[in-house]
A and B are shown apart, each in its own frame.
Chain A
């Protein structure tokens, strides 16, 4: 049996193009989640439960709620915040826990670097996957909103791309921070960062409730930028502030990716 160096076919191995590499890494993650769809689905639940409990439950006892100078239903205020939060959750789950496991325990990236793939391919591919997961969560969330009649503007169609920006920013920054983590204990910091952002980034009440200085702090957090962007889209209240949010999220995504690539070089190409 002649196995090697005999042309069964004339196909020759070669370095893959960047786009191909991204597709292959996303495909690999899809394969691995095919057996863990339940894990995938539960990641989506949290913001949905909050929408029901706070947005709709608490919303029933909130009257005369005003946003942007207009009276709106409280649940219409909370729902876009939850879209943003689901994008954050979706992106961060794989960018932190998943990424750490692949990097430190599964040696998955060492495996990939034995092939023509590069650290930049790895960084882009994993980010694309986080982005996709965040995107799927937020798209599903928008469907939930539509079914419940919580969408008030055609601009809402743009919520999904906006959620992808949130996924980009959180995915890239999450992965960048993860490269500095030494053990699972360090992930307490992730929880410590996520929970306050989730609760206080104008998700459940407007930033006008804060004193000025604190308001500035909150307005600089990435989730806040995502939340207001989604809200501006679902309520149709776009402004120049929306463009600031877009630029800010893209900048975080690109900056995070640069850091991830450099850290992977340092950690894997010793």
Chain B
């Protein structure tokens, strides 16, 4: 699917905010501290990281609604500072918070939005029919936005972001706050878009979402990129194949960690459990029990991006 055309390229990209205070000079806060990113056509590109990692700031700069503080950013080879409207006419944006127009119904939301892209009336009408069908909201065309469920609002936002047939679709935390069923519907739709060759750029703090959707990922933490690769590459590079999770009583986990340290390649101590990184989880678990230790619960699983993140930053994504 992907070719060599660069859709987004960032070199040493920075974003800082000055927090003004009434007394004294403002304090400068750096949200993005010099990142290099290349997104090629047809790729689903993920930014994975906890809240506050700088993902949303990066997205806002790409959407041309946040001036670049330093470094270089090009979208379709154009500079957002001078070609904002041109760039925005070619991208679709699905923001973190739904920004639907509550005073208009579902159909009108799409219609007005489509017209903002300079598209003729009949073209917008045709596309609305297609898009409502695509996100399964045809029956809701005349519904008020307020009466839609969270999942439906998200689907409407996705439909809206596709009205200009964008070359890049930007999704900031597309499924945050949705129940599991609604998330799977969204993932399914995004997957179809990906198959149609739309370049997807998404941010998420859900590792399962990143694994499901992203071909390439950057892991961000505190404004910098700490790792880059496909989900599989990252797991192979930064984790073992399997993880044995063992949970002792409250407060005992840390104290017991030294007794199992030699049973795995690496042991992570979390407040509520120990993670033993090994290529054979069952074996490690047998060894633990063989030492007379009696964990309250145990679990053997494959390593995920969560483990990659833990390894890279010493923190879990939920923090």
Interface positions of A (Cβ within 8 A of B)? 1-6, 8-9, 11, 13-16, 20-21, 24, 27-28, 31-32, 35-36, 106-108, 110-118, 268-270
Cα separation A21 to B116 with both chains bound (whole Å) = 7
Q: Does B269 contact A (CB under 8 A)?
A: no
Residues on A with beta carbons closer than 8 Å to the beta carbon of B90: 13
Residue from the list B67, B116, B119 in contact with A11, Cβ < 8 A: B119
Residue from the list B66, B103, B165, B193 in contact with A269, Cβ < 8 A: B66
Cα separation A106 to B90 with both chains bound (whole Å) = 24
Residue from the list B17, B84, B89, B97 in contact with A13, Cβ < 8 A: B89
Q: Does B49 contact A (CB under 8 A)?
A: no
What is the CB-to-nearest-CB distance from A34 to chain B, in angstroms, rounded to a whole number?
A: 10
Q: Does B112 contact A (CB under 8 A)?
A: yes
**Which 5 pairs between the two chains have the least Cβ-Cβ distance?**
A13-B164, A32-B103, A15-B85, A13-B117, A115-B116
- Report if A8-B198 is in contact (Cβ < 8 Å); known contacts: A108-B101, A116-B86, A116-B118: no
Residues on A with beta carbons closer than 8 Å to the beta carbon of B89: 13-15, 115-116
Task: Report, as a range, how many residues of chain B touch the other chain.
Answer: 35 or more
Residues on B with beta carbons closer than 8 Å to the beta carbon of A14: 89, 117-118
Query: Are A15 and B99 within 8 A (Cβ)?
Result: no
Residues on A with beta carbons closer than 8 Å to the beta carbon of B161: 114
What is the CB-to-nearest-CB distance from B250 to chain A, in angstroms, rounded to a whole number?
A: 43
- When C-beta atoms are compared, the residue in chain B nearest to A29 turns out to be B103
Q: Mark B34-75, 1 if CB is under 8 A from A, else 0.
A: 000000000000000000000000001001011100000000
Query: Are A4 and B162 within 8 A (Cβ)?
Result: yes
Cα separation A27 to B116 with both chains bound (whole Å) = 11
Residues on B with beta carbons closer than 8 Å to the beta carbon of A35: 103
What is the CB-to-nearest-CB distance from A65 to chain B, in angstroms, rounded to a whole number?
A: 46
Q: Pull 27 A–B residue pairs with CB atoms less than 8 Å apart, ordered by A.
A: A3-B130, A3-B162, A4-B196, A5-B167, A5-B197, A8-B126, A8-B127, A11-B119, A11-B123, A13-B119, A15-B86, A24-B116, A28-B104, A28-B112, A31-B104, A32-B101, A106-B101, A107-B99, A110-B65, A111-B100, A115-B89, A115-B117, A116-B85, A116-B116, A117-B85, A269-B66, A270-B17
Residues on B with beta carbons closer than 8 Å to the beta carbon of A114: 63, 65, 88, 93, 95, 99, 161
Query: Are B166 and A4 within 8 A (Cβ)?
Result: yes
Query: Are B17 and A15 within 8 A (Cβ)?
Result: no
Residues on B with beta carbons closer than 8 Å to the beta carbon of A270: 17, 60, 66
Residue from the list A31, A36, A117 in contact with B116, Cβ < 8 A: A117
Cα separation A68 to B166 with both chains bound (whole Å) = 64
Q: Does B238 contact A (CB under 8 A)?
A: no
Cα separation A116 to B90 with both chains bound (whole Å) = 9
- When C-beta atoms are compared, the residue in chain B nearest to A32 turns out to be B103
Query: Are A9 and B123 within 8 A (Cβ)?
Result: yes
- When C-beta atoms are compared, the residue in chain B nearest to A16 turns out to be B118
Query: Are B119 and A5 within 8 A (Cβ)?
Result: no
Q: Does B222 contact A (CB under 8 A)?
A: no
What is the CB-to-nearest-CB distance from B160 to chain A, in angstroms, rounded to a whole number?
A: 9
Cα separation A62 to B103 with both chains bound (whole Å) = 47
What is the CB-to-nearest-CB distance from A7 to chain B, in angstroms, rounded to a whole number?
A: 9
Residue from the list A4, A32, A116, A117 in contact with B193, Cβ < 8 A: A4
Residue from the list B84, B112, B193, B198 in contact with A24, Cβ < 8 A: B112
What is the CB-to-nearest-CB distance from A164 to chain B, in angstroms, rounded to a whole number?
A: 25
Query: Are B102 and A106 within 8 A (Cβ)?
Result: yes
Cα separation A270 to B63 with both chains bound (whole Å) = 12
Q: Mark B77-107, 1 if CB is under 8 A from A, else 0.
A: 0000000111011100101010111111000
Q: Mark B113-128, 1 if CB is under 8 A from A, else 0.
A: 1011111100100110
Query: Are B116 and A16 within 8 A (Cβ)?
Result: yes
What is the CB-to-nearest-CB distance from A32 to chain B, in angstroms, rounded to a whole number?
A: 4
Cα separation A117 to B88 with both chains bound (whole Å) = 9
